[in-house]
A and B are shown apart, each in its own frame.
Chain A
Amino acid sequence: MNLIKNVTAKEGYHKIMGSVSAIIIGLIFGFLVLLLANSSNAFEGFITIVAGGFTGGGRGVGQVLYFATPLILTGLSVGVAFKTGMFNIGAPGQFVMGAVSAVYVGVHVTFLPAPFHWIIALLAAAIVGGIWGFIPGMLKAFFNVHEVIATIMMNYIGMYLCNFIVKKTVYNSLKNISLDVKSSAVIPKAGLDKIFVTLHGNYSDVSTVNGGILIAFGIAVFIYFIMEKTTLGYELKAVGFNKNASKYAGINEKRNIILAMTIAGALAGLGGGLLFLSGPSGRHLAVVDVLAMEGFNGISVALLGLSNPIGIIFSAIFISYLAQSGTYLQTLNYMPEVVDIIIAVIIYFSAFALVIRQVLPKLRKKFYERKSQLPTASEEKESNGGEK
């Protein structure tokens, strides 16, 4: 009993509960939508949503991880910017510019030996993505141009530039998509193809997932380390919380704004590289006038993960899991967009997470105050005093 009491007193618990309640509300809402659309299949549909990624067996789980890979990176991108006091809405542009750079290197820079080819391609993705963050960062630091405006513009420049580059250099005109990258540029499977596979008799249906997900995990941990343990993270967060006080303390706030946006851009760009360096069965860049969803979903991932790098790993996998269930939902004659609605509602309510976080401690306090007799009530007050 005491354990429950202590755990529920932790601030982290309230934070996580905020996200969890948002998810539950989102799922309930999704069920209502299913009921409205086609009540006879609603329950089955809901099970499909909840079962989500598992529906497709080993391969299905692999696909969840494959599509979670870019979301982790764009989520980190938005999250890092959040922590430094900026709203990076430019992840779609950074993502797509990173992607096209990686694909270009993967297709054309063929003189590189195999182990280096994909690494160089990923580096190219990070650098070009970084440039796409660096420019709004410069504009913000030196001309006080709001980063939301600047990154939105950079999104469109990135999208059309990407289409242009694909058409000019790496175009598969038959399918209106980019060419396959050379096999040396495909990120190694790292044994994941042995795990995430569904067997249909003799035929094994292998997932597209590759070492990219491991790289994504590694980067999330690395970013956590940077933000929480280093002087750089200390400075970045200080600037994010209070620009004036940072300046007062002698921190170069302009440099840190530019650096933060560059890191954010590089992360999103890397996400693009990780998704598209995946061989013939993986995703290809399509020539369409639509901003990359992976970029925008990064905002959702960061919100749901509370901008915490480790939280972002979980929220990215969760969003990817839901998105996969959308595919399976079609077998029940539902539109896969139902899942988009659920995701949207969850994000909506994770914005309310702050409210939930304020309500929870109060409910908890009331609960224990009612339960405990007067002598323990004073002790309760003490342990609560610090939370505020």
Chain B
Amino acid sequence: MEYVIEMLNIRKEFPGIVANDDVSVRLIKGEIHALLGENGAGKSTLMSVLFGMYRPEKGIIKKNGIEINIKDPNEANRQGIGMVHQHFKLVENFTALQNIILGVEDTKNGVLLMDDARTKVVELSEKYGLMIKPDELIENMTVGMQQRVEILKMLYRENEILIFDEPTAVLTPQEIDELMSIMRKLVKEDKSIIFITHKLNEIKEVADRCTVLRKGKGIGTVDVETTTKEEMSEMMVGRKIDLKIDKALTKPGKIIFEVENLSVISKWSKKKVVNNVSLKVRQGEIVCIAGIDGNGQSDLVYALTGIGPHLGGKITLNGEDITDSSIRHRNKAGMAHIPEDRHKYGLILDYKLSKNLVLKKYFEEGFQKNKVINYSNVKEYSDKLIEKYDVRTGQGSNTLTRSMSGGNQQKAILAREIEENPEILIAVQPTRGLDVGAIEYIHKQLVKQRDAGRAILLISLELDEVMNLSDKILVIYEGEIVAALNPEETNIKELGLYMAGSKRSEVVS
């Protein structure tokens, strides 16, 4: 077998952890090779090594059987290795063309020669069906378009080995389909692709082979055709995973949480980022707001929870008007909130775990007397929660929250919020950045809360999560609710059209 790139026995250490331990990946010319692993499994580190951003402690890299030394990204480029990063590296106020030639400009006497470049870009764009307008500014482009500019950047530099770092995380389902077909065209032209992801569906659809990493170790390389999703997820997590959630039939009760005609004006642009949103959540149901990132979800949640401002409208919780109530009052009235950004809002990272678990309770009877906190009660309560919610830590209640893993931090927030016994639980992207095991746990907890008769408002970008968990789906697009759907009667395709704004219904909850 002829390998275009071989990474053999790579070891990369960071202070305190081994990110890659004796990992080998072999890329065949003209294949799409998926790199699968949970968060923190070492996928991105491995690719950063290949792209010359890190030097490995051990191991060698071979290209076409000859050992090469990649000391920086420029060297990687010369070797024909290109990378589309998860966060694009584009100059926002430059055009597509300017971004593509940036760093490899042709000049004559200090004057830019753009014509040849333009011809080449247009040719490439047509050849691979990228449909890029060379003179459009990046800031006016959709995320999918920007990604295609990044792809063009690699093609323009005549890279043969293309690395895609979680390219689908930011795309709508339609854009994902387009990306897949672009990737297929690329390999048809003899390019080789390494595709980092933790989504099994995408691997099944497009990849030829798949290398699985777990906790920095290479678990193995499998043929995608002959391996099931369940087998791959077991390799990734190290145990069997229940991908489908069992959900009993819902029996929604009375309306607990109601929002009427709520709007939010952006501080910067004075535009309405949330426009006239109305919704209802009943006891025992999960209402999900689906949408692509940046369509007003954050501002909506800030307004609902009292963190941010709102313009007009009315918010009712359990019959009480809480539109202008303080955050503390909302909490006491029965609102719990799993925030989108657990580091910015959810936790005080420099407090130990026990103090974070009482973040909304420290002032209550039993935890304080005459304003003096009873820390032995706090610790007792915290120990109880840690056990009940299986939060894994180094030193139990005394663990510094900052030192905990993302999944366990999220479990701690979940524990704290559920133990508030809320009337309404607002969960914003509760599984963002978590691995399959933690996602499974959090989904089960949310469904358990629903079955216990709680009202849950879920804001999610993950379509699988939306389809699996919700009893009712609202789609948000540019700050407006554009559709109310029943998950039993819709599918991911239709959802995607609403999310992209190309379809809308007038039926709103």
A residues with a Cβ closer than 8 A to B are 229-232, 234, 237-238, 241-242, 244-252, 385-386, 388
Contacts and interface: CB of A to CB of B under 8 A. Distances in A.
B351 A238 contact: yes
Contacts of B359: 238, 245, 249
Contacts of A247: 307, 327
B110 interface: no
Nearest to A388: B403
> Which of A231, A242, A245, A252 has most chain B Cβ within 10 Å?
A245
Given A230-B371, A238-B348, A386-B394, A248 B362 contact: no
B344 A245 contact: yes
B337 interface: yes
A234 B349 contact: no
Contact of A229 (B305, B326, B346, B373): B373
Contact of A244 (B16, B345, B351, B363): B345
A231 B371 CA distance: 5
A127 B372 CA distance: 25
3 smallest CB-CB distances across A and B, nearest first, come from A250-B328, A250-B327, A248-B345
A234 B347 contact: no
B16 A388 contact: yes
- Secondary structure at the A interface, as helix, strand, loop or mixed, is helix
A232 B339 contact: no
Nearest to B345: A248
A79 to B, nearest CB: 16
B331 A250 contact: yes
Contacts of A252: 326, 328
A244 B395 CA distance: 26
Contacts of B360: 249-250
A241 B394 contact: no
Interface string B348-387: 1111000100011011000010011101000000000000
Contacts of B328: 250-252
A241 B329 CA distance: 23
B326 A250 contact: yes
Contacts of A244: 344-345
Nearest to B374: A229
B399 interface: yes
Contact of B372 (A230, A242, A251): A230
Given A245-B347, A245-B348, A247-B307, A385 B372 contact: no
B349 A242 contact: yes
Contact of B351 (A229, A232, A241, A388): A241
B328 to A, nearest CB: 3
Given A249-B360, A385-B394, A388-B403, A231 B368 contact: yes
28 contacts: A229-B372, A229-B373, A229-B375, A230-B373, A231-B362, A231-B372, A231-B373, A234-B355, A234-B373, A237-B351, A241-B350, A242-B348, A242-B349, A245-B345, A247-B307, A248-B305, A248-B327, A248-B337, A248-B346, A249-B331, A249-B360, A250-B328, A252-B326, A252-B328, A385-B394, A386-B395, A386-B399, A388-B403
B339 A248 contact: yes
Given A244-B345, A245-B347, 11 more contacts: A229-B375, A234-B362, A245-B359, A247-B307, A248-B339, A248-B346, A249-B331, A249-B359, A250-B360, A251-B328, A386-B394
A245 B307 contact: no
B337 to A, nearest CB: 7
Contact of A232 (B331, B350, B371, B394): B371
A93 to B, nearest CB: 30
A252 to B, nearest CB: 8
Contacts of A242: 344, 347-350
Nearest to A250: B328
A384 to B, nearest CB: 9
A151 B346 CA distance: 31
Nearest to B327: A250
Nearest to A11: B400
Contacts of B351: 237-238, 241
Contacts of B330: 250
